Structure 1
């Protein structure tokens, strides 16, 4: 597919210097006599700014404008270090023209083009030079209202997936707006600055002498006789000519001697210049200075501002030759932008500007802030109207204000509208039934006279509708200061909290709505609590609401909002998180426990090895889980009653979250996926207070899965939940254990004691991997971030193994092994995941197995294996209380030309009575002849196995853990 360029929203031109080489065909290059050899005259194309909206902003204006931004590819712009917008979003690049998705809509433009727009709108800033700076060098390019400007750009947005510009008619430049900018000989004017035109400045500094030749090739041809127009005063004749376009005037000159003589007037040409060429603003300052030869100025500017390819006619034209040295291509670009594009932007801008001037901001909104506009539905209407409803004209008026809301529901009981129905509604534009293109019914919600609105919980659900599906509002809960609420519609769905900030009170609401789509965004307008002094209805609210979690307003939550008192970390997501829409992607909270009793009741934490889901098991409470696929669950047993607590979660985040690492205060660990020591990939929790060095309690986590209800569910974002105290008080936070930093590998669940390794590592190998002209050795054990061990000295009731689809026909895909001991309480020890029955989600609902291997690049071999058996195969070998005698290991030597060592190709256990387990190997293993066989015999001293566990490396989204190598372990003397 390759890359793609985007274009300036105002002029439609490129946002960087176009590329061509001298060796290109002349047709696809720019004329070196027109474009400077070093192309420095095209540098203005790189002076690009990006304007966008921060819906989460608490200001009534949510518009931001970046500093200089450099286009990278596909509409992404890199910001300069220290740019406030970079700090605002925590990202070094911005995506533009992305109307849909998690990126807020943003638009790039040349700073020069914005200055030209300001001149068109007559909104130039005071003392502004051509670079858009004032006398002090500050960036103050114009008086354009950014809120109105952005609203116009959003109305003109091209909502298609791969938009490169606005939905404007860019006129003559449109043919150049391909995947990459089209460089074409003779079209240099498209890339020259419409403001910085040195030859134009030189022209007006030294105006030309009169020209004998006329710029049209004819003179009037008529008989001398009576001409009635000659009797008209000169002023009237000038008025007639003023309202004619130039081609009409020239034709009239041929038939009317009086008008022909009138055009010879210097004042007529001056007036025509100013009227016909409003974009020639350099002429205005010299209007009174020049008293002769305005006809020549008009003619010169008329020709210089027209882009016309060199033709035989023009080469023969003496006058054109006299202007050839001028090469005012920038003036042609200015005229193009001024006449073809700016009217399309200026029209809606001036309309909105006029509407805004008619609105008198009431006292109650002066100094007010917002909770941030939250998007509520999908798809969002392409054009929305903003409504701001305030509860009274002044804060004092809130004391007796009647606060009532009307909620509009359509015939399917989806909420489609919300407006304030109190005394101010008629003054602010009442949102009645006539505002919608569909029938609705209305439910009324009244806030009691002694109470106040503190927040609204919006409940919404996803519905199948096209590729992306749709999200609709099914309920609203109005939260009151008295800790009561009023519900309209359903509470079954995903929940979005919109609540006043701490130490604030609500004075109004703001909505985005459209006749076609209805309500799409919502926020509360608020003022600081100190301004509500003496108004009794706000006493019930207090300064710190304790019945809601204000931090939960960051996200939409699946089914449940995290309870009060929990701190919510920022989410971590990778650079593949295109599908994530912060307002519309429901996070799933998993609460481990908010009291010490709950945390003490935890018995295990399990994670699907393909990141399909996470769950916590309890001794006396129901299991809690998030995610939709709980198929291959890898578990860590937790001794909650004995004081064991989860004290850290580490995430490895690359293009998507690729690893989760759990640590307890007992020094026991669980690793799913990658384990990394690279700080740019590893996100560690919990944080410590920098002043007190006190850690918080890790009490939960949250995540978001894309395609949640399909087999392709993918974890896109993860975060943690903390608490500063448990049971209403601060307690001692369990200390982080000493995990022997620097040992390089992780023992799961913990390092063994009283044993050591002995003998060779069976399955240790390396292969060469080509990287272009270079190559490197890939060491199998380097792929194994974890080690585990099995005690083979105890009697077993049964031995279970899990095999997964293989990636190499000579590597056993041993994903898990479980020992069920016969002594004690029939304890089980599992290395790897336990496989649970598949759900309809795992099988696409039709009984057909699906796995990530279908996306593998291993071709026919993978297809054959998938057709023979499901992704996971569970095998059970009953031992009935017998001990293991030995292990037979099948090894496949690596060809010396490509590597060294041997792959672990199969394993077979032998019991003390000589009975043998099946040969567990890759799926089509049939003969022992091609393999080396090693034996590990278990004795009183040699009692166990060390397992080296890594990922399959099938080159798919998620990899299974498999055992790459084995080594014997013996008791310490």
Structure 2
């Protein structure tokens, strides 16, 4: 068929599709159509240089005749729509985002767009919204304006239920809030409830009130004129508003940040004045669409006054939860704390019984103080991305920083507030299913227009090798001196133990028997007399913390818990200072100094390829328990003073050791620091 004949064929196809067999007059449509097409397809002689123009003229002439047939023999419903006229919104109205609101299978879905309004005059008509539910899930919406009815979705399903909403003339829909929850019938996420906000300010709710929240609202200056939906498995699976700037009305709740509308929120819709940056995630594929991940918001402060109430941040070793602490003693948290989680392990052989028992896991916590009352606030953060977001480095306006999780993996993404905005918090999702609770899957920045923050200088907080100083960079006249004990090859964070400050206690000094890798111990925390806590990694949550600890409990704990492994692993452990597991369990895990604390006068270290062990000493002769493997003579004893003017001990922390990669940093090298 020639190009011109193809054009005629498509016109005929349109007529066939839209013709109605219910109208008796349509039985003769083919006679008229055949007569028109027979003339149109009649040969006009051999082609010449003007045949292209002639063919185009014939196509237009035939199209006009076919349209006449279409109007005469089309079904009554289509003729009514022609008489009604084309919607004045249809040319420029757009659906800016059609969000997932339910999980579905990959096949068997269909989409449709329905205009609820044709012109602004329709707003002066009484309107009725009907919401259709099938087994608790939204399956369709119908809008009736006077004698017109606009249907969208599945309205005639067996057993479906209907809720109706009347809107008086002059009023209209401002926005919707959908409740998305898991239903036992569907076994997946569905729209189980809906809140309608009117321009008049009233709200009406239908269905369930619990569930995750999704906002459907037009952008500033637009009004709602229709809806676009996707249907599958007898429910609405995607939905988006058709918006127009040609309306005489606009939303009373303007949403300037479209990201807020694109995301699903766990508990409630965040403040509409906040701005949300695009989130990042890792290379592990999630089971759900990204716009079906329930997001949680951790707000440091909407305003300067609220920022002033923040006194600290804390997180678990693998970022399964994060929290902020307020000056009134309250906390706000995202994620799932699992300090009360129990792990089933084989019963120890000493118990004289077979089977399994539950042992409580006490998850270690890293805490970072923030002097909000004194004007300190967060100005940015850097996210470390691997299989998932695996680390977050937070910067304050006082040049202080903290790393939760780890710093080295595939990539880094840095966040800072836009011009005219301030860092108000973070938002994130915990949707990668991994027992005992879901892991962090996405994270990004929340900004507020109520204050401004400067951009952080990440380079100023690092040494020449790119290692981040924590909690802050030491004085510039402090320089590393003497040999390094261990390896700085994979150093991610560096910190200093200041010999001039009194220490009140050191917590987490665990020994490693011969069969245990030092990386499994994690790290320890130093508590200064002035109340500051210096976290040198987090202790393992798997060291027995039950009332009666036994060797059976110790050996039954899972090895290399939540660690990644490489293809080859080197034996990098030193010699243990405990000869039996009973000795390991008998060693105190905390060193408490008498009175108001003492200053350290020496530190003994044991090292090889990595730092293997460490012990602390005071002027009064107090010696701390040993951390790690401290068998034999120490590799060095570092003391303040001396020819190098030693004032502090530099400790490098990393997450990789001997083929294992932990989910948080731990000590891996030490070196003296002298004052020049």
TM-score (norm 2): 0.71
What secondary structure, in the 3-state scheme, does the structure 2 residue paired with 1:436 have? coil
1:403 and 2:133 are equivalent in the alignment:
no
1:670 maps to 2:402? yes
> CA offsets, 1:379-414, max 9 Å, x none?
2583334454443443322222x2222223445xx2
User: Is the counterpart of residue 558 in structure 1 residue 272 in structure 2?
Assistant: no
- Number of the residue aligned with 1:936: 638
Question: Given that residues 390 and 424 in structure 1 are in contact (C-alpha distance below 8 angstroms), is that contact kept between their aligned partners in structure 2?
Answer: no
Aligned mate of 1:379, from 97, 101, 104: 104
Task: Give the conservation status (yes or no) of the 8 Å contact 1:810–1:904.
Answer: no
> Does residue 1:886 correspond to 2:602, yes or no?
yes
- Distance in 2 between the 1:613 and 1:713 partners? 10
Q: Tell me: CA distance 1:441–1:947, structure 2 relative to 1, closer, same or farther (3 Å).
A: same
What is the total number of aligned residue pairs between the two structures? 563
Quickly say closer, same or farther: Cα 1:417–1:848, change in 2 above 3 A.
farther
User: Which ranges in structure 1 are unaligned for 5 or more consecutive residues?
Assistant: 1-117, 127-141, 146-283, 290-353, 533-537, 689-693, 727-731, 765-779, 839-846, 863-867, 893-901
Q: Evaluate the alpha carbon distance shift between residue 740 and residue 596 of structure 1 in structure 2; reply closer, same or farther with a 3 A threshold.
A: closer
Distance 2:280 2:656 in 1: 25
Please list, as runs of the form range in 1=range in 2, the aligned pairs for 1:215-254 lying within 5 A after superposition: none
Establish whether residue 725 from structure 1 lines up as the match of residue 443 from structure 2.
no
Residue 236 of structure 2 aligns to a residue in which SS?
A: strand
Counterparts of 2:651 and 2:152 in 1: how far apart (Å)?
A: 71
Alignment-derived partner of residue 167 in structure 2: 447
- Alignment partner of 1:781 is 2:481: no
Residues 751 and 854 from structure 1, CA distance in 2 versus in 1: closer, same or farther, beyond 3 angstroms?
closer
Deviation at 1:735, TM superposition (A): 6.1
2:169 alignment partner, SS class: coil
Higher helix share: 1
Matches of 1:661 and 1:719 in 2, distance apart?
A: 12
Change (3 A) 1:464 1:548: farther
- In structure 2, the partner of 1:828 is 533
Deviation at 1:722, TM superposition (A): 1.1
More strand by share: 2
Change (3 A) 1:920 1:609: same
Rounded to whole Å, the distance in 1 between the matches of 2:178 and 2:504 is 54
Query: How many Å apart are 1:606 and its aligned residue?
Result: 2.6
The TM-score, its normalising length taken from structure 1, stands at 0.51
Report the aligned-residue RMSD: 4.5
Which of 1 and 2 has greater Rg?
1
1:378 to 1:802, Cα distance in 2 relative to 1, 3 A: farther
Aligned to 1:686: 416
Is 1:806–1:813's contact at 8 Å kept on the other side of the alignment?
Answer: no
The Cα of 1:885 is off from its aligned counterpart by 4.0
* Rounded Cα–Cα distance in structure 1 between residues aligned with 2:216 and 2:168: 20
Contact 1:704 1:716 (C-alpha < 8 Å) held by counterparts: yes
Q: Is 1:703 equivalent to 2:428 in the alignment? A: yes
Matches within 5 A, 1:410-809: 410=134, 414-423=136-145, 427-429=149-151, 435-437=156-158, 439-462=159-182, 470-514=188-232, 516-529=233-246, 531-532=247-248, 538=249, 541=250, 545-546=253-254, 550-577=258-285, 579=287, 581-620=289-328, 622-629=330-337, 631-673=363-405, 675=407, 681-688=411-418, 694-708=419-433, 710-711=435-436, 713-726=438-451, 733-734=453-454, 736=456, 739=460, 743=464, 744-753=466-475, 756-757=478-479, 759-764=481-486, 780-801=487-508
Secondary structure at the counterpart of residue 700 of structure 1: strand
The 5-angstrom pairing of residues 28-47 of structure 1 reads none
Q: Deviation string for 1:237-260 (max 9, x for gaps)?
A: xxxxxxxxxxxxxxxxxxxxxxxx
In 1, are the aligned partners of 2:417 and 2:455 still within 8 Å (CA)?
Answer: no
Pick closer, same or farther for the CA change 1:638–1:963 going to 2, 3 Å.
Answer: same
- The offset of 1:442, in angstroms, is 1.9
Q: How does 1:863-942 map to 2 (within 5 A)?
A: 875-881=589-595, 883=598, 884-892=600-608, 902-921=609-628, 928-929=631-632, 933-938=635-640, 942=646
- 1:807 touches 1:954 (CA, 8 Å); kept in 2? no
Q: What is the CA–CA distance in structure 1 between the aligned matches of 2:2 and 2:513, rounded to whole Å?
A: 67
SS at match of 1:887: strand
1:46-195 pair list within 5 angstroms: 123=6
- Asked if 1 retains the 8 angstrom alpha-carbon contact of 2:562 and 2:663, the reply is no
- Measured after TM superposition, the shift of residue 763 of structure 1 is 2.5
Task: Structure 2: give runs of 5+ residues left out of the alignment.
Answer: 14-40, 47-73, 339-362, 544-555, 572-580
